[in-house]
Amino acid sequence: MNYYGLRFFAVLLVLFGVVMISGVESGDVAFDTNYNVVWGDYKHASVLKHGRQARLSLDAQSGGGFVCKQQYGSGFFNMRIKLAGRNTAGVVTAFYLASSGNYGHDELDFEFLGDKEGKPIRLQTNVFANGKGNREQKVVLWFDPAADYHDYKILWNHRLIAFYVDDIPIRAFRNNKKIGVEYPTQAMQIHVSIWNGDSWATDGGRTKINWTYAPFTAHFQSFNVDGCPSTNGRRKCHSASSYWWNQRKYWNFNRTMRRKYQIVRDKFMNYDYCNDTTRHPTTPPECAPNHFKNKH
């Protein structure tokens, strides 16, 4: 489908109306309230506008990153991001949750894969559970993510993991432990970074970073965190009375959300591990077509 066709379907997404996930998200706070810079000097990682904005840059010397101070056992995590623009092939900007350690880890990823001038940036998501990943999905964004800020959100409760762009669902991963599919349950921290991914991110690694366009700078806002601190214990972090995102209505998408989700899958998704028979000769069990028809 050409650019104008994608724009047409983007308009359809908007015409379905804005359906907010929740009206009870906490207000914005200063960066230092919840986050620390952990990678990059001031040139590569800085906090601006009295703590209401952060900036990460990548050049040939370094990238940058920051991490949330707290670990969480569930939540609804949001970051407002404006990506670097102009010839970002090979540049990866990431917003993700990850447990500690590399063995048997859990992780929920947003990864923005840069590209050459004039080509749309792809947004890759992935889900790791107990060390098993290889669940990549990629969508072509229906807007220029370098032109302005947009909200990128992850809902995580004990029944559903959902990824949103603004208020449009782009991915869902259900708890299917009953059929042998691992589900993220470990405490996780929020990570944000920009880094050199030109070994794989664009054209399978064939297109490298053009450093004459460096530094590549991304900007971030919204440093409040709606999460259950893992120190509360799993029981409380799964409690619907304590945290709104655990309520039954957030175990699934409503009708409007399902329609938006289907448009994204039909018109904007350009890779789904569920359909990759080379990597997965046997269809993964969580890829069943009745993904949202299960009864609770």
Which residues belong to the active site? 107, 111
Q: What is the DSSP string of 135-188?
A: --EEEE-SS-TTTS-EEEEEEE-SSEEEEEETTEEEEEEE--GGGT-----S-B
Tell me the two tokens of residue 46. Answer: 């800085």
* Interatomic CA distance for residues 218 and 81, integer angstroms: 7
SS3 258: helix
Cβ-proximal residues to 202 (8 Å cutoff; 6+ apart), any chain? 89, 90, 113, 114, 115, 116
SS3 106: coil
How long, in residues, is the chain?
296
SS3 215: coil
Is residue 63 within 8 A of residue 39, CB to CB? The reply is yes
